[in-house]
Each structure stands twice: as C-alpha cells, then as structure tokens.
C-alpha cells in the first residue's frame, strides 16, 4: 500500500512539474509577443485600457503580467528574481475564481 501512495505522489509531482514548465514556456512566449508586436509602453501598438476593458482588466495588469513572466524565466534560468506582489497580479487576471 505504501508503494502505491508513493507512486501516486510521484506521479502528481511529474504532472505538476510539467504544468509549471508549460506555464513558464507560455508566459515566456507571451512576453516575447508583447514586445515583438509593440504592445509595450513606447511600442508601435501599445495596449491601452480600452483594448482590454471588455475583459475586466487594465493595461497595467497586462504590463504586470509581463513583469511576472520575466521573473518566472529568471527563476527557471537561475537568475536573480526581483520580488513583487505577483500573487496580486495573478489574482487580478484569473478567470477561474
């Protein structure tokens, strides 16, 4: 019985690790798109509140997410991570709760 619990537990770790890796990869892709398309402040196609208001979010929330994406990549690459209230950013953007 103990081995079954350990196997289940280890399987959950594998699933969670895959989800974290996928989330970091996606966030990194979104950050790249943000700058490539000029959505950033000073870019050629800046995201403004009116662009995202129907989603119930602000342009600042998008910018904060891009900062979070950068810090996730830093974390994954063993680089210095700048602390911030990233949980608040996630909670502002979440649609599941």
8 Å CB contact between 68 and 90: yes
Overall number of domains in the chain: 1
> Would 11 be classed as within a structural domain?
no
> Would 17 be classed as within a structural domain?
no
Per-residue confidence at 1, pLDDT binned at 50, 70, 90?
Answer: low
Q: What is the pLDDT of residues 17-54, one digit of tens each?
A: 999 999 999 999 999 999 999 999 999 999 999 999 99
Per-residue exposure over 82-91, b if at least 16 CB sit within 10 Å of its own CB, e if not: eeeebeebee
Whose CA is closest to 47, among 55, 56, 38, 91?
Answer: 38
Per-residue confidence at 4, pLDDT binned at 50, 70, 90?
Answer: confident
pTM: 0.89
Which residues span the domain enclosing 65? 25-93
């Amino acid at each position: 019985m103990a081995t079954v619990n350990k196997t289940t537990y280890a399987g959950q770790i594998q699933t969670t690790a895959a989800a974290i890796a996928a989330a970091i990869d996606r966030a990194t892709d979104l950050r790249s798109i943000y700058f490539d398309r000029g959505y950033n402040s000073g870019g050629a196609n800046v995201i403004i509140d009116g662009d995202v208001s129907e989603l119930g979010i602000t342009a600042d929330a998008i910018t904060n997410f891009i900062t979070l994406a950068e810090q996730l990549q830093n974390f994954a690459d063993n680089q210095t991570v700048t602390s911030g209230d990233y949980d608040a950013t996630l909670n502002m953007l979440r649609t599941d709760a």
